[in-house]
């Protein structure tokens, strides 16, 4: 299934469109299945979307039926400026009436990234016990300029994981914090929908490979190996699309 590619003038328009579409998707999932499971991305790009969700940009959201997960996390405390959970807490969680039981952060308080990954896997398998698969309604992903997504970096052993839904991983040298926990390709593979949110000219070369390159070129990059059960969409600004 070819991905849907949406190009916007800038990050604001991208975020507004994603917020509106996410709101419709969430309300439909709750109508159909009684809940909406959303895996959030970290980094900078999605932060505006999260603020818009808090400010009504997605319309009325049934927060009591929405469950939030993290597609990846840095192995730091939530108070650390590098924490993806901390970023979402400040941009979104502190401003919405979501029940604490609907928040599923990566348990970074455990002794090691491997323990945190194992514990998170258990939590996901319990949440999706009926389906037996990580059937997130929507997974938001970002893209690094060298092709990583979530915390699946080029050459990472976590890319070879076929069974586990979650793995401990390391960021590429020079990218801190290095210690990460991430959904694996397997953990992403059952999602009903995956959206890549990408902005900035520095991403244009890797976007070009992923969207205009050959299958084999794209498959060299972690983001190029992401498969989902449902549709994949790219929300790009003009700078990231390179035109």
Contacting positions for ligand 6PG (CB under 6 A)? 41-45, 72, 84, 142-144, 148-151
Q: How far is the CB of 5 from ligand 6PG (least distance, A)?
A: 18
Residue 11 C-beta: closest distance to ligand 6PG, Å: 10
Q: Which of 124, 171, 125, 139 is nearest to 152 (CA)?
A: 171
Q: Which is nearer to ligand 6PG, 43 or 213 (CB)?
A: 43
128-135 LR contacts (CB < 8 Å, sep 24+): 128/37, 131/190, 133/190, 133/229, 134/165, 134/183, 134/186, 134/187, 134/188, 134/189, 134/190, 134/191, 135/37, 135/190, 135/191, 135/192, 135/229
> How far apart are CB 204 and ligand 6PG at their closest, in Å?
13
Closest separation in Å from C-beta 27 to ligand 6PG: 26
Q: Smaller CB distance to ligand 6PG: residue 65 or 221? A: 221
CB-nearer residue toward ligand 6PG: 36 or 50: 50
Interacting residues of 61 by C-beta distance below 8 A, sequence separation 6+: 23, 26, 27, 53, 96
Residue 163 exposure: Cα atoms within 13 Å on the Cβ side: 1
CA 104 vs CA 28, 198, 227: distances in Å:
21, 24, 23
Q: Which is nearer to ligand 6PG, 143 or 190 (CB)?
A: 143
Q: How far is the CB of 238 from ligand 6PG (least distance, A)?
A: 16
CA-CA distance, 103 to 127, in Å (whole number)?
Answer: 12
* Closer CB to ligand 6PG, 41 or 184, in the complex: 41
């Amino acid at each position: 299934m070819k991905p849907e590619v949406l190009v916007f003038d800038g990050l604001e328009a991208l975020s507004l469109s994603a917020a509106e579409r996410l709101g419709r998707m969430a309300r439909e999932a709750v109508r159909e299945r009684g809940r909406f499971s959303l895996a959030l991305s970290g980094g900078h790009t999605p932060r505006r979307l999260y603020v818009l969700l808090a400010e009504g940009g997605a319309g009325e959201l049934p927060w009591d039926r929405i469950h939030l997960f993290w597609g990846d996390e840095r192995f730091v405390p939530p108070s650390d400026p590098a924490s993806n959970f901390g970023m979402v807490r400040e941009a979104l969680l502190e401003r919405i009436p979501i029940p604490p039981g609907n928040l599923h952060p990566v348990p970074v308080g455990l002794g090691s990234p491997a323990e945190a990954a194992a514990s998170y896997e258990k939590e996901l398998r319990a949440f999706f016990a009926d389906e037996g698969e990580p059937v997130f309604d929507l997974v938001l992903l970002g893209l690094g300029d060298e092709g990583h997504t979530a915390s699946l970096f080029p050459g990472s052993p976590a890319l070879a994981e076929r069974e586990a839904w979650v793995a401990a991983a390391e960021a590429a040298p020079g990218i801190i914090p290095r210690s990460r926990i991430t959904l694996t390709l397997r953990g992403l593979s059952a999602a009903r929908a995956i959206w890549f949110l990408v902005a900035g000219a520095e991403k244009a070369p890797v976007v070009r490979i992923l969207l205009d390159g050959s299958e084999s070129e794209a498959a060299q990059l972690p983001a190029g190996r992401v498969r989902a059960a449902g549709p994949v969409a790219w929300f790009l600004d003009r700078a990231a699309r390179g035109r």
